[in-house]
Amino acid sequence: MIGRIRTRRATSSFDMHRMRELGGWSGLLLTGLLLLFACAGVASNSPPAVLKASESGPVAAVGDADIQISTNERAALQAVGTVAVAHAPGSAFEFTRSISGLTGTDVAVGILLSPANLMNRDQRYAGYAKSYVRDLKLVDPVPVVRRAFEERLSSEIPAERMRKVEEPVAADSVDALRAVVPIGLGIVVQTTAWQIQIAPESGMGRQRVVYAAAAKAIQLPEGRTVWRATCRAITPEAISGNELRRDSGRLLKAKLVECASACANELWAHYAGTAERSETPR
């Protein structure tokens, strides 16, 4: 069947008779996947973002979808009522695959030669992620981001007006924040991704660690969102999977904390109005 597909004219010229020979909808699905992954492969070849970062630390930047807050407005909001920083439950730990360096042809050939393998990849990755969390006892590092915000705010706000919120709130919602800050300013942070990104372009078994978060400040009791930003951080070096797992995942946990700390620094700089705008690392 593969040979016959290759000898036919362009995909856009498939006639209905040929589609029936290929199994009707299954042939159409294969063609659609071919085009989809080919486009993804071409898109992945666009020039990478130019980012400012140290060679040893994670690359981190604030995303573009945000709400800015002025210095004067921030000072005015922080002067009323109670101020608290909380964290909400976020996304689950994931395995992903980098498509950097792959062309549309690479992906298309992969689909044609091993479609079942590609179809089942997400399921396998989900299994890897669950086993890592279970066996290495991985924990979402979002408290690192919360504590970083809390520490910086404590230098601007009297201790008696700061409320510590150690336990996660139910959600990053107005109602959840009102439960801890009836009047004042509530800041909530939430993990949007914590991942191992398989990086085949860097060599067999090489992986990067990724962390991403979202944060917002809400004026209470009004429920008005006055500031919002996202951040993504990634280790610049691809590390051996064996190294990341060794000693109960000691290095992996350290890299997750490094990425969360880098993300927190970028988010705070954005909140404080001192961030340099740059593209979010992929």
What is the per-residue pLDDT for 84? 94
Q: Where are the domains of the chain?
A: 2-43, 59-93+138-272
- The Cα 198–Cα 270 span in angstroms is 30
- The Cα 142–Cα 234 span in angstroms is 15
> Full-prediction pTM beyond 0.85?
no
What is the per-residue pLDDT for 114? 55
SS3 for the chain is CHHHHHHCCCHHHCCHHHHHHCCCHHHHHHHHHHHHHHHHHHHCCCCCCCCCCCCCCCEEEECCCCECCCHHHHHHHHCCCEEEEEEECCCCCEEEECCCCCCHHHHHHHHHHCHHHHHCHHHHHHHHHHHHHHHHCCCCCHHHHHHHHHHHHHCCCCHHHEEECCCCCCCCCHHHHHCCCCCEEEEEEEEEEEEEEECHHHCCCEEEEEEEEEEEEEEECCCEEEEEEEEEEECCCCEEHHHHHHHHHHHHHHHHHHHHHHHHHHHHHHHHCCCCCCCCCC
What is the per-residue pLDDT for 211? 97
What is the per-residue pLDDT for 220? 94
The third-level CATH classification (topology) of the domain covering 59-93+138-272 is Double Stranded RNA Binding Domain (3.30.160)
What is the per-residue pLDDT for 14? 36
What is the per-residue pLDDT for 186? 95
Beta strands 184-198; 82-88: pairing state: parallel
- The Cα 50–Cα 220 span in angstroms is 38
Check: CB of residue 215 under 8 Å from CB of residue 229. Answer: yes
Measured at the CA of 38, the angle between CA 195 and CA 36, to 5 degrees, comes to: 75
What is the per-residue pLDDT for 266? 93
Q: What is the pLDDT along the chain (282 residues), one digit of tens a residue?
A: 433 333 333 333 334 444 344 444 444 444 454 444 444 443 333 323 323 333 457 776 565 558 999 889 999 999 989 999 999 999 999 998 865 544 444 445 455 545 555 556 778 888 889 999 999 999 999 999 999 999 999 988 999 999 999 999 998 889 999 999 999 999 999 999 999 998 876 666 889 999 999 999 999 999 999 999 999 999 998 999 999 999 999 999 999 999 999 999 999 999 998 876 444 444
